[in-house]
Amino acid sequence: MTDLSIRSVAVSPVLAPRRRFMLLRRLLAHRSFQIGAVLVLALTLAAILAPLTGVDPSSMRVRLRFRPPSEAFPFGSDNFGRDVLTRVLYGARVSLWIGFVVALLSGLCGAVLGVIAAQIRGLDAPLMRLMDALMSFPAILLALGITAALGPRMESVIIALTVAYVPAGVRIVRASALVVRELDYVQAARIAGAGNFRIMLRHILPNSVGPLLVHMTFVFAYSILAEAALSFLGVGVQPPTPSWGNIIAEGRDYATEAWWVMLFPGLGISLAALGLNLLGDGLRDVLDPRLKGTG
Amino acid sequence: MGRLIAFKVLQAVPVILIVSILAFLLMTLLPGDPAVIIAGDQASPEAIEKVRVSLGLDRPFLEQLGVWLLNLAQGNFGSSLMLNQSVLSAMGERLPVTLSLAGLSLAITLPIGIFVGALAAYYRQSWIDSAVMVIALIGVSVPGFWIAIMAVILFSVMLGWLPSSGFVPLTEDPALWLQSMIMPAAMLSLFQIGFLARMTRSAMLDVLSQDFIRTARSKGLSEWMTVGKHAFRNALIMVITAMGILISTAIGGSVVIEQVFALPGVGRLVVQGILARDYPVVQGVMLIYGFAFVAINLLVDVLYTFADPRVRYD
Amino acid sequence: MAAAGRSNEPLVSIQDLTVQFRTDRGWTTAVEGVSFDIGDGDCVGVVGESGSGKSVTALSMLRLHARGTSRFPTGRVLHAGRDLLTAPERELRRIRGGDIAMVFQDPMSSLNPVLTICDQISETLRLHQGMSRPDARRRAIELLDLVRIADAPRRVDEYPHRLSGGMRQRVMIAIAIACRPRLLIADEPTTALDVTIQAQILELLRDLRAELGMAVMLISHDLGVIAEFARRVIVMYAGRVVEDAPVEVLFRKPLHPYTEGLMASMPSLDGADTATLYSIPGRIPDPDETIAGCRFGPRCSYAEPACSAVPPELVSVDGGHRVRCPPRTRTVTPTATGARQ
């Protein structure tokens, strides 16, 4: 008998538009998904609208340093007299952008490599050994090593985190693809003469994407946390470019005098990660029927 | 079953090889010329060339790789530029700190995470479930270092209950050791507990919906027996798989926590190495960690075969 | 174990059982007004298609539904003077596996994959009969022999995944009969097995019934299995009992239109009607579908206007045969109505 747990990883064959619509409706009705979506959208909007504050995040007015939250400085001012609200909003741009790119890139690479590993026998073993090697490291350590090599910059962080999260994606897609490959309709396509590439593209990929999408949402969340940690350590985004992580690092030194500098970026990270985790939970509940009822 | 274990060990060898090669490649990606860094900016071209030759950097790529691997096999992981010692000894000095931190945090995480996750699964969709899940969610969303800083402010600066930094070895004074470790370890476990609780809940939900649970109940077994024996043994399998990830995140998280609490551990060493451009240290530590994780994953894999009889005779 | 039942008091009496399940849309009725008795040593077959409510009824007898998902608005399940639907958990646990045991449909998933066969059989023995581990193990081996598993002393220490489907089902039966229950409920015990194994399992059940003197309630959607095994048959449709008769009577003279339809849709070996296979027109209603009057009405060729007005009652027709169909019972025998105990 088939192993039901793996089977359910693959959603039913190329969803008819009606089924897709139904899935979307279920998704939108899911409470975790709703809350998560609202949080993420709100933060993204805030980030995009950052320039609206009219303030330059790096403009220093040293005479107005360490002002607590007030009308002039809604989130207070830091030790250089910079407006914390503006810095946090610009920091949101950086942190959210990095998280998004990492999730996207690692997902794409994972999908491509995963399907290749599942379809092309000769490449499977070496590819998976390489992934195992990469997965041996915790993401932060791997990212540390790579940023050390490439120099501490935003681009290094993106590359480093992408490399760190690709292996998990590859595993997920490969697992899905292996199951989907054995399903009857794919066999039918193969018998009908469809070539490897066509099968990969039209049949295997669309049906392995579900779990990957869920994974990518969580990667987005992890990346935000990881980038914050890296920037906090000083090996990520370098000042004066604000990122939530390095604002906290700066604010730490005078935390007792100006608690607001540390508080708001931390809240930002927490809310972003929270929203994305909720989003991911919602997606998983809807796309992976086996785990239904965890919401 | 010994054969199965041997096979798994064998599979780990190429992974270790790849890790070593990756670490070597790390060095080739480095910006700047190592010879210049070592010789100093002011050195003459001949002096730089001498350093280059002594480092073997003028040799063909593959030969460098070979020498590198050979050194590794002999236990030579290079020597630090900023400290005056071999990478291995620098790491050895700091290992107790990191192990204390990761170890204590795992000791806190495992019982709490598993119990709470199982509880949430059993009382699914009740207020217990919701409460646990909300707390777990917060645990995995809040950045550990941020909470740690605030905890330091609260418990060390304002209340003065716990030290804000420093490490006392376990062998020296267990009470002081605990005092210095409890806050860092607790901060480290916040994420872990959240993660483990969610995973355990998911695993238990899956198991509790299986037919054999119904069979157990139909035999007249008490709920304790049914859940504690039948359900849990199965969920344990998935939890063991999570162990590898947990150890991984514990070590990874310790890097940041060590910074916040100024603990002289391996994580702090790596960060210092990066900021000071001490590449041998970074490379060496990454390598040793790599080997360690391969070994840990192997161990977890083997533990898994003990837990799940179905994979034993494959 | 409960006191020995008197021969005229049924072992288990299900009276007006209604079971509802919690769904996204509120509570749905899966089974309604089910009533029948099982006497000591009886051999009862419950037949119906998927969704007819036969498994739900069986699981309800021992309250084995998942926590919080079900409720019983009406009805009682009487056994040894107690109503199992309301009895405290402690009492129910003594009865489960002890007085009343159950065998489930899918032997692959019904056994715990990480525990040995010995462990799973011994559990019941140590729980209900207070046996020590070595005694329980010895008895487990005896039981494996009893259910005709070869090489029992070696098999007993193995894990379920090493056994074939048929052997696993035998193990399930061994677990169920371990404490000599007075009633064995077998929910589709052969459905997941090959035909040849099916026959062996049925034979085993029959022999065990004779040897141990226990009552058996066999649930199946397969009329052939029921015909071979049962002495009395209960036909269920859309969550209700529609006919209850001794097996020969049912197969010779089915009264309920649904039963008739079922008989007619069985392919015959005499090659009489080789043209088209008969199938009952229409489809089984969803549990939350509201149908006025008789649930089978929309598909019934005997339907009268009254059928969709008032839900029919179960009526006794010449002793031992009950039918829920006014048009048919009226024409057969004008006996007294309302024979629900």
pLDDT of residue C216: 95
**Residues 150-209 in B contacting C (C-alpha not used; CB under 8 Å):** 209
CA of B173 vs chain A CAs: smallest distance (Å): 30
* A-B contacts (CB, under 8 Å): 142
C161 and B309: CB-CB below 8 Å? yes
Indicate left, alpha or beta for B125 from its phi (over 0: left) and psi (-120 to 50: alpha).
Answer: left
ipTM score of complex: 0.84
In this complex, the residue of C68, C101, C112 whose CB is nearest that of residue B230 is C112
Residue A198: CB atoms within 10 A of its CB come to 12
Q: Does A278 touch chain B (CB under 8 A)?
A: yes
**DSSP bridge partners of A69:** none
For C195, counting Cβ atoms within 10 Å of its Cβ (0-12 exposed, 13-18 middle, 19+ buried), the class is exposed
* Distance (Å, whole) CA A50 – CA C304: 74
* Distance (Å, whole) CA A118 – CA A175: 8
Please, are residues B190 and B139 in contact by the beta-carbon 8 Å criterion?
yes
Residue B83: CB atoms within 10 A of its CB come to 17
> First CA to last CA across chain A, in angstroms?
30
* CATH number listed for the domain at residues A27-46+76-290: 1.10.3720.10
The band of A18, judged by pLDDT with boundaries at 50, 70 and 90, is low
Q: A interface mutation test: which of B20, B27, B146, B286 has the most A CBs within 10 A?
A: B146
Question: What is the value of pTM for the model shown?
Answer: 0.83
Closest residue of chain A to B275, computed from CA coordinates: A235
Q: Which residues does chain C have with pLDDT short of 70? A: 1-8, 268-275, 331-341
pLDDT of residue A11: 42
**Rg value, chain C, Cα:** 21
pLDDT tens-place string over residues A50-79: 888 777 877 888 787 888 888 778 888 888
Q: List CB contacts (< 8 A) between C186 and chain B.
A: none
In this complex, the residue of B22, B205, B286 whose CB is nearest that of residue A141 is B286
In this complex, the residue of A146, A232, A290 whose CB is nearest that of residue B256 is A232
Question: Alpha carbon A216 to chain centroid distance?
Answer: 6
Q: Is the pLDDT of residue A158 over 80?
A: yes
Q: Does A157 touch chain B (CB under 8 A)?
A: no
pLDDT of residue B217: 92
Q: In what order do the strands lie in the sheet with C100-103?
A: C100-103, C183-187, C215-220, C43-47, C232-237, C240-246, C321-323, C315-317
Indicate left, alpha or beta for B160 from its phi (over 0: left) and psi (-120 to 50: alpha).
Answer: left
Closest residue of chain A to B130, computed from CA coordinates: A295
Question: Would you give the DSSP letter of residue C314?
Answer: P
Q: A interface mutation test: which of B274, B287, B288 has the most A CBs within 10 A?
A: B274
**DSSP bridge partners of C83:** C78
pLDDT of residue C141: 94
Handedness of CA C68, C69, C74, C76 (dihedral sign): negative
B294 and A133: CB-CB below 8 Å? yes
Which among C191, C192, C116, C201 has a CA at the least distance from the CA of C161? C116
B18 and A266: CB-CB below 8 Å? no
* Distance (Å, whole) CA C334 – CA C53: 30
* Distance (Å, whole) CA A122 – CA B60: 30
Please, are residues C123 and C131 in contact by the beta-carbon 8 Å criterion?
no
pLDDT tens-place string over residues A100-128: 999 999 999 998 898 888 878 888 888 88
Alpha helices in chain B (DSSP H): 2-29, 34-39, 45-54, 61-73, 87-122, 127-141, 144-152, 174-208, 211-218, 223-225, 232-260, 266-275, 279-307
Kind plus residue range of the DSSP H or E element containing C287: none
pLDDT of residue B135: 93
Residue B245: CB atoms within 10 A of its CB come to 18
- The tens place of each residue's pLDDT in chain B, 314 residues long, gives 677 778 888 878 888 888 777 777 776 666 656 666 666 667 677 777 777 776 666 677 777 777 777 877 777 777 777 777 888 888 888 898 999 899 999 999 999 999 999 999 988 888 999 999 999 999 999 999 999 998 888 888 888 888 877 777 877 788 888 888 899 999 999 999 999 999 999 889 888 888 999 999 999 998 888 888 898 888 888 888 888 888 988 988 999 999 888 899 998 888 888 777 777 788 888 888 888 888 888 888 888 888 888 877 64
Q: Is the pLDDT of residue A194 over 80?
A: no
Q: Is the pLDDT of residue A6 over 70?
A: no
Chains touching C by CB (3 or more pairs below 8 Å): B
Domain regions of chain A by residue span = 27-46+76-290
Please, are residues C235 and C260 in contact by the beta-carbon 8 Å criterion?
no
In this complex, the residue of B211, B220, B222 whose CB is nearest that of residue C110 is B211
